[in-house]
A and B are shown apart, each in its own frame.
Chain A
Protein backbone atom coordinates (compact mmCIF):
# COMPACT_ATOMS: atom_id res chain seq x y z
CA UNK A 1 0.00 0.00 0.00
CA UNK A 2 2.50 2.60 1.12
CA UNK A 3 5.19 2.76 -1.50
CA UNK A 4 8.64 4.12 -1.01
CA UNK A 5 9.76 7.42 -2.42
CA UNK A 6 11.23 7.18 -5.85
CA UNK A 7 13.62 10.06 -5.23
CA UNK A 8 13.98 13.02 -2.97
CA UNK A 9 15.39 16.49 -3.29
CA UNK A 10 15.02 19.93 -1.78
CA UNK A 11 12.92 21.08 -4.70
CA UNK A 12 10.34 18.34 -4.31
CA UNK A 13 7.36 17.78 -2.07
CA UNK A 14 6.63 14.49 -0.29
CA UNK A 15 2.95 13.69 -0.76
CA UNK A 16 0.60 11.07 0.61
CA UNK A 17 -1.73 10.06 -2.22
CA UNK A 18 -5.17 8.72 -1.39
CA UNK A 19 -8.71 8.58 -2.77
CA UNK A 20 -12.01 9.71 -1.30
CA UNK A 21 -15.23 9.13 -3.19
CA UNK A 22 -13.39 8.63 -6.45
CA UNK A 23 -11.44 11.87 -6.11
CA UNK A 24 -7.69 11.47 -6.07
CA UNK A 25 -6.07 13.71 -3.49
CA UNK A 26 -2.64 14.23 -2.04
CA UNK A 27 -1.42 15.97 1.09
CA UNK A 28 1.98 17.16 2.19
CA UNK A 29 3.32 14.31 4.29
CA UNK A 30 4.83 16.88 6.68
CA UNK A 31 1.31 17.81 7.82
CA UNK A 32 0.52 14.24 8.86
CA UNK A 33 1.57 13.12 12.34
CA UNK A 34 0.49 9.51 11.96
CA UNK A 35 -1.79 7.14 10.11
CA UNK A 36 -4.01 4.81 12.12
CA UNK A 37 -6.28 1.98 11.21
CA UNK A 38 -9.90 3.07 11.28
CA UNK A 39 -11.87 1.59 14.14
CA UNK A 40 -15.61 2.22 14.02
CA UNK A 41 -15.88 1.94 17.80
CA UNK A 42 -13.15 4.47 18.39
CA UNK A 43 -14.82 7.46 16.76
CA UNK A 44 -14.43 10.63 18.80
CA UNK A 45 -15.71 14.17 18.55
CA UNK A 46 -12.69 15.48 16.71
CA UNK A 47 -12.82 12.85 14.02
CA UNK A 48 -13.56 14.52 10.73
CA UNK A 49 -14.64 12.64 7.64
CA UNK A 50 -12.86 14.19 4.72
CA UNK A 51 -15.77 13.92 2.30
CA UNK A 52 -17.85 15.97 4.74
CA UNK A 53 -15.15 18.58 5.14
CA UNK A 54 -14.93 18.86 1.35
CA UNK A 55 -18.72 19.06 0.86
CA UNK A 56 -19.27 16.13 -1.43
CA UNK A 57 -22.96 16.92 -1.17
CA UNK A 58 -25.21 14.35 -2.80
CA UNK A 59 -22.36 12.42 -4.36
CA UNK A 60 -22.32 8.85 -3.16
CA UNK A 61 -19.23 8.14 -1.12
CA UNK A 62 -18.25 4.59 -0.30
CA UNK A 63 -15.23 3.98 1.91
CA UNK A 64 -13.35 0.87 0.87
CA UNK A 65 -10.38 0.94 3.17
CA UNK A 66 -10.70 3.88 5.56
CA UNK A 67 -7.72 5.08 7.52
CA UNK A 68 -7.31 7.88 10.01
CA UNK A 69 -4.72 10.59 9.56
CA UNK A 70 -3.78 12.61 12.60
CA UNK A 71 -2.96 16.25 12.04
CA UNK A 72 -1.72 18.70 14.65
CA UNK A 73 -2.89 22.29 14.62
CA UNK A 74 -2.32 24.73 17.48
CA UNK A 75 -1.59 21.96 19.96
CA UNK A 76 -4.75 20.06 19.09
CA UNK A 77 -4.72 16.72 17.35
CA UNK A 78 -7.37 16.28 14.70
CA UNK A 79 -8.31 12.95 13.17
CA UNK A 80 -9.32 12.91 9.54
CA UNK A 81 -10.82 9.82 7.95
CA UNK A 82 -9.58 9.24 4.42
CA UNK A 83 -9.93 6.28 2.10
CA UNK A 84 -7.55 4.13 0.14
CA UNK A 85 -4.14 5.57 0.97
CA UNK A 86 -2.10 4.51 -2.04
CA UNK A 87 1.41 5.78 -2.01
CA UNK A 88 3.93 8.32 -0.86
CA UNK A 89 5.49 10.10 -3.79
CA UNK A 90 7.92 12.91 -4.33
CA UNK A 91 6.78 15.53 -6.77
CA UNK A 92 9.11 18.18 -8.11
CA UNK A 93 7.86 21.67 -7.32
CA UNK A 94 7.87 22.60 -10.99
CA UNK A 95 5.36 19.83 -11.70
CA UNK A 96 2.81 21.34 -9.35
CA UNK A 97 0.27 23.49 -11.16
CA UNK A 98 -1.97 26.12 -9.66
CA UNK A 99 -5.63 25.31 -10.07
CA UNK A 100 -7.22 26.99 -13.12
CA UNK A 101 -8.45 30.52 -12.55
CA UNK A 102 -12.13 29.59 -12.82
CA UNK A 103 -11.82 26.78 -10.26
CA UNK A 104 -9.57 28.50 -7.74
CA UNK A 105 -12.19 30.69 -6.02
CA UNK A 106 -14.22 27.58 -5.15
CA UNK A 107 -11.42 25.14 -4.42
CA UNK A 108 -9.57 27.49 -2.07
CA UNK A 109 -12.56 27.37 0.27
CA UNK A 110 -11.89 23.65 0.62
CA UNK A 111 -8.17 23.88 1.24
CA UNK A 112 -7.34 22.71 -2.28
CA UNK A 113 -4.36 24.66 -3.49
CA UNK A 114 -2.89 22.96 -6.56
CA UNK A 115 -2.87 19.94 -8.80
CA UNK A 116 -0.49 17.48 -10.38
CA UNK A 117 -0.98 15.71 -13.68
CA UNK A 118 0.39 12.22 -13.19
CA UNK A 119 -0.02 9.29 -15.57
CA UNK A 120 -3.08 10.79 -17.28
CA UNK A 121 -4.62 11.37 -13.86
CA UNK A 122 -5.18 14.57 -11.94
CA UNK A 123 -4.25 14.65 -8.28
CA UNK A 124 -5.64 17.51 -6.21
CA UNK A 125 -3.35 18.87 -3.52
CA UNK A 126 -5.00 19.49 -0.19
CA UNK A 127 -3.74 21.56 2.72
CA UNK A 128 -5.09 19.86 5.85
CA UNK A 129 -4.18 22.75 8.15
CA UNK A 130 -6.12 25.20 6.00
CA UNK A 131 -9.05 22.80 5.69
CA UNK A 132 -9.22 22.24 9.46
CA UNK A 133 -9.17 26.00 10.04
CA UNK A 134 -12.00 26.49 7.57
CA UNK A 135 -13.96 23.59 9.07
CA UNK A 136 -13.51 24.85 12.63
CA UNK A 137 -14.80 28.27 11.64
CA UNK A 138 -18.02 26.81 10.28
CA UNK A 139 -19.01 25.65 13.77
CA UNK A 140 -17.71 23.42 16.55
CA UNK A 141 -17.70 19.76 15.56
CA UNK A 142 -19.95 20.60 12.68
CA UNK A 143 -18.41 17.78 10.69
CA UNK A 144 -18.24 15.12 13.35
CA UNK A 145 -20.43 12.50 11.72
CA UNK A 146 -22.81 10.46 13.75
CA UNK A 147 -24.01 8.54 10.72
CA UNK A 148 -21.01 7.18 8.97
CA UNK A 149 -20.85 6.63 5.21
CA UNK A 150 -21.19 3.13 3.90
CA UNK A 151 -18.15 0.96 4.29
CA UNK A 152 -17.18 -1.83 1.95
Chain B
Protein backbone atom coordinates (compact mmCIF):
# COMPACT_ATOMS: atom_id res chain seq x y z
CA UNK B 1 0.00 0.00 0.00
CA UNK B 2 1.50 3.33 -1.07
CA UNK B 3 0.79 6.81 0.21
CA UNK B 4 -1.95 7.54 -2.36
CA UNK B 5 -3.76 4.35 -1.48
CA UNK B 6 -3.54 5.19 2.19
CA UNK B 7 -4.93 8.65 1.62
CA UNK B 8 -7.84 7.30 -0.48
CA UNK B 9 -8.86 4.87 2.21
CA UNK B 10 -9.03 7.50 4.92
CA UNK B 11 -12.46 9.09 5.50
CA UNK B 12 -12.67 12.66 4.24
CA UNK B 13 -14.14 15.28 6.53
CA UNK B 14 -15.68 18.45 5.18
CA UNK B 15 -16.84 19.88 8.44
CA UNK B 16 -14.05 21.91 10.04
CA UNK B 17 -15.54 21.58 13.52
CA UNK B 18 -14.78 17.84 13.45
CA UNK B 19 -11.09 18.67 13.25
CA UNK B 20 -11.27 20.21 16.65
CA UNK B 21 -9.51 17.65 18.83
CA UNK B 22 -11.57 18.52 21.81
CA UNK B 23 -14.83 17.56 20.15
CA UNK B 24 -13.97 14.39 18.24
CA UNK B 25 -13.05 11.02 19.64
CA UNK B 26 -11.68 9.83 16.32
CA UNK B 27 -8.01 10.38 15.57
CA UNK B 28 -7.20 13.27 13.32
CA UNK B 29 -6.77 12.54 9.67
CA UNK B 30 -3.22 13.92 9.73
CA UNK B 31 -2.40 11.66 12.63
CA UNK B 32 -3.81 8.69 10.78
CA UNK B 33 -1.83 9.53 7.65
CA UNK B 34 1.36 10.15 9.61
CA UNK B 35 0.92 6.95 11.52
CA UNK B 36 0.35 4.96 8.35
CA UNK B 37 3.33 6.61 6.64
CA UNK B 38 5.55 5.72 9.57
CA UNK B 39 4.32 2.17 9.54
CA UNK B 40 4.98 1.85 5.83
CA UNK B 41 8.42 3.39 6.21
CA UNK B 42 9.29 0.94 8.97
CA UNK B 43 8.09 -1.90 6.80
CA UNK B 44 10.09 -0.59 3.83
CA UNK B 45 13.15 -0.17 6.02
CA UNK B 46 12.99 -3.81 7.01
CA UNK B 47 12.42 -4.93 3.44
CA UNK B 48 15.27 -2.76 2.19
CA UNK B 49 17.56 -4.44 4.66
CA UNK B 50 18.28 -1.33 6.69
CA UNK B 51 17.52 -3.40 9.74
CA UNK B 52 18.68 -6.88 8.95
CA UNK B 53 17.98 -9.81 11.18
CA UNK B 54 20.53 -11.27 13.53
CA UNK B 55 20.89 -14.98 14.09
CA UNK B 56 20.82 -16.22 17.64
CA UNK B 57 21.60 -19.62 19.11
CA UNK B 58 19.30 -20.19 22.07
CA UNK B 59 20.26 -22.75 24.67
CA UNK B 60 19.38 -23.66 28.22
CA UNK B 61 21.57 -23.43 31.30
CA UNK B 62 20.34 -24.44 34.75
CA UNK B 63 16.72 -24.15 33.60
CA UNK B 64 16.99 -20.68 32.04
CA UNK B 65 17.29 -19.66 28.42
CA UNK B 66 20.44 -17.96 27.14
CA UNK B 67 21.70 -17.06 23.68
CA UNK B 68 24.86 -16.34 21.76
CA UNK B 69 24.97 -14.47 18.47
CA UNK B 70 24.77 -17.05 15.71
CA UNK B 71 27.94 -15.85 14.00
CA UNK B 72 29.85 -16.64 17.20
CA UNK B 73 28.83 -20.31 17.28
CA UNK B 74 30.58 -22.62 14.83
CA UNK B 75 28.78 -25.80 15.79
CA UNK B 76 27.06 -27.65 18.60
CA UNK B 77 28.77 -30.83 19.72
CA UNK B 78 27.51 -33.64 21.90
CA UNK B 79 29.32 -33.70 25.22
CA UNK B 80 32.10 -36.24 24.97
CA UNK B 81 35.43 -36.88 26.61
CA UNK B 82 36.96 -33.77 28.11
CA UNK B 83 40.64 -34.06 28.98
CA UNK B 84 41.36 -32.29 32.24
CA UNK B 85 44.34 -29.92 32.27
CA UNK B 86 46.40 -29.68 35.47
CA UNK B 87 46.34 -26.18 36.87
CA UNK B 88 43.14 -25.23 35.09
CA UNK B 89 40.51 -23.54 37.27
CA UNK B 90 37.19 -25.19 38.10
CA UNK B 91 35.34 -23.30 35.37
CA UNK B 92 37.58 -24.93 32.78
CA UNK B 93 36.80 -28.66 32.55
CA UNK B 94 39.57 -29.17 30.00
CA UNK B 95 40.21 -29.87 26.35
CA UNK B 96 38.35 -31.64 23.57
CA UNK B 97 39.55 -33.10 20.32
CA UNK B 98 37.45 -31.73 17.45
CA UNK B 99 38.50 -33.64 14.37
CA UNK B 100 42.14 -33.26 15.30
CA UNK B 101 41.91 -29.67 16.54
CA UNK B 102 42.34 -29.22 20.27
CA UNK B 103 39.85 -26.79 21.79
CA UNK B 104 39.27 -25.65 25.35
CA UNK B 105 35.94 -26.10 27.12
CA UNK B 106 34.64 -23.63 29.67
CA UNK B 107 31.70 -23.80 32.03
CA UNK B 108 30.24 -20.28 32.32
CA UNK B 109 27.59 -21.01 34.96
CA UNK B 110 29.74 -19.63 37.74
CA UNK B 111 30.11 -16.28 35.96
CA UNK B 112 26.34 -16.06 35.61
CA UNK B 113 25.65 -16.92 39.23
CA UNK B 114 23.96 -20.19 38.24
CA UNK B 115 23.87 -23.37 40.33
CA UNK B 116 25.35 -26.70 39.32
CA UNK B 117 23.59 -28.32 36.41
CA UNK B 118 21.72 -31.56 36.94
CA UNK B 119 21.79 -32.36 33.22
CA UNK B 120 23.87 -35.53 32.80
CA UNK B 121 24.94 -35.26 29.17
CA UNK B 122 25.69 -31.63 28.54
CA UNK B 123 26.44 -30.31 25.07
CA UNK B 124 29.25 -28.07 23.88
CA UNK B 125 28.73 -24.93 21.82
CA UNK B 126 31.91 -24.39 19.87
CA UNK B 127 32.21 -20.64 19.98
CA UNK B 128 34.52 -18.10 18.43
CA UNK B 129 34.99 -14.45 19.28
CA UNK B 130 37.83 -12.39 17.92
CA UNK B 131 40.91 -14.57 17.94
CA UNK B 132 39.65 -16.78 20.77
CA UNK B 133 37.93 -20.11 20.18
CA UNK B 134 36.48 -22.29 22.90
CA UNK B 135 33.79 -24.76 23.62
CA UNK B 136 31.14 -23.61 26.08
CA UNK B 137 29.18 -26.16 28.08
CA UNK B 138 25.43 -25.83 27.63
CA UNK B 139 22.62 -27.98 29.02
CA UNK B 140 20.54 -28.19 25.87
CA UNK B 141 20.31 -26.57 22.45
CA UNK B 142 16.89 -24.88 22.17
CA UNK B 143 16.67 -23.10 18.83
CA UNK B 144 18.47 -21.20 16.11
CA UNK B 145 16.48 -18.21 14.98
CA UNK B 146 16.77 -14.87 13.21
CA UNK B 147 15.23 -11.78 14.76
CA UNK B 148 15.31 -8.04 14.24
CA UNK B 149 17.93 -6.31 16.39
CA UNK B 150 15.24 -3.93 17.64
CA UNK B 151 13.68 -6.84 19.51
CA UNK B 152 16.76 -7.12 21.69
CA UNK B 153 16.30 -5.00 24.79
CA UNK B 154 19.01 -3.74 27.13
CA UNK B 155 19.92 -5.98 30.08
CA UNK B 156 17.72 -5.70 33.13
CA UNK B 157 18.94 -2.98 35.45
CA UNK B 158 18.15 -5.16 38.45
CA UNK B 159 20.81 -7.74 37.53
CA UNK B 160 23.93 -8.10 39.62
CA UNK B 161 26.67 -5.86 38.22
CA UNK B 162 29.15 -8.69 37.66
CA UNK B 163 26.59 -10.66 35.70
CA UNK B 164 25.16 -7.63 33.91
CA UNK B 165 28.48 -6.74 32.31
CA UNK B 166 28.48 -10.13 30.56
CA UNK B 167 25.03 -9.62 29.04
CA UNK B 168 24.42 -8.04 25.65
CA UNK B 169 20.65 -7.86 25.97
CA UNK B 170 17.36 -9.55 26.68
CA UNK B 171 14.64 -10.84 24.39
CA UNK B 172 11.48 -12.84 24.54
CA UNK B 173 11.15 -16.27 23.00
CA UNK B 174 7.91 -18.27 23.20
CA UNK B 175 6.88 -16.38 26.30
CA UNK B 176 10.19 -16.90 28.05
CA UNK B 177 12.97 -14.48 28.73
CA UNK B 178 16.23 -15.12 26.90
CA UNK B 179 19.48 -13.56 28.06
CA UNK B 180 21.80 -12.73 25.20
CA UNK B 181 25.39 -13.20 26.37
CA UNK B 182 28.38 -11.11 25.37
CA UNK B 183 30.86 -13.83 24.50
CA UNK B 184 33.76 -11.43 24.09
CA UNK B 185 33.35 -10.14 27.63
CA UNK B 186 33.02 -13.66 29.00
CA UNK B 187 36.24 -14.73 27.30
CA UNK B 188 37.94 -11.57 28.53
CA UNK B 189 36.83 -12.27 32.09
CA UNK B 190 38.24 -15.79 31.88
CA UNK B 191 41.66 -14.58 30.77
CA UNK B 192 41.91 -11.82 33.38
B88 at the interface (CB under 8 A from A): yes
- A104-135 contacts to B (CB < 8 Å): 105-107, 109-110, 112, 115, 117, 120-122, 124
Q: Is the CB of B132 within 8 A of A115?
A: no
Task: Confirm or deny: B23 has a beta carbon within 8 angstroms of a beta carbon on chain A.
Answer: no
Binds A, one of B34-42, B54-62, B93-101, B168-176: B93-101
Check if A100 sits within 8 Å of B83, measured CB to CB.
Answer: no
Cβ–Cβ contact A106 & B87, under 8 A: yes
Interface size on A, residues (CB 8 A): 25
**Do B190 and A121 touch across chains, with their CB atoms under 8 A apart?**
no
Contact of A23 among B83, B100, B101 (CB under 8 A): B83
With an 8 A cutoff between CB atoms, is A37 at the interface? no
Interface string of A125-149 (1 = CB under 8 A from B): 0000000000000000000000000
Interface residues of B in 126-156 (CB under 8 A from A): 131-134
Q: Does B85 interact with chain A (Cβ within 8 Å)?
A: yes
**CA A122 to CA B104, docked complex, whole Å:** 11
Q: Which of B86, B89, B131, B191 contacts A110 (CB 8 A)?
A: B86
The interface residues of chain A, by DSSP majority, are classed as: mixed
Nearest opposing residue in chain B for A97, CB measure: B102
Chain B residues whose C-beta falls within 8 Å of the C-beta of A59 in the assembled complex: 84
Interface assignment of B103: CB less than 8 Å from any CB of chain A: yes
Q: A117-B97, A121-B97, A122-B97 are in contact. Are A99 and B87 (CB under 8 A)?
A: no
Cβ of B178 within 8 Å of any chain A Cβ, yes or no, is: no
Is the Cβ of B86 less than 8 Å from the Cβ of A55?
yes
Q: Which residues of B (51-107) have their CB < 8 Å from a CB of A?
A: 81, 83-89, 92, 95-97, 100-104, 106
Q: How far is the CA of A124 from the CA of B89 in the complex (A)?
A: 17
Q: Give Cα distance in the complex from A120 to B97, angstroms.
A: 7
Report B's interface with A, CB cutoff 8 A: 81, 83-89, 92, 95-97, 100-104, 106, 131-134, 187, 190-191
| Chain A contact residues, CB within 8 Å of chain B | 22-24, 54-56, 59, 97, 99-103, 105-107, 109-110, 112, 115, 117, 120-122, 124
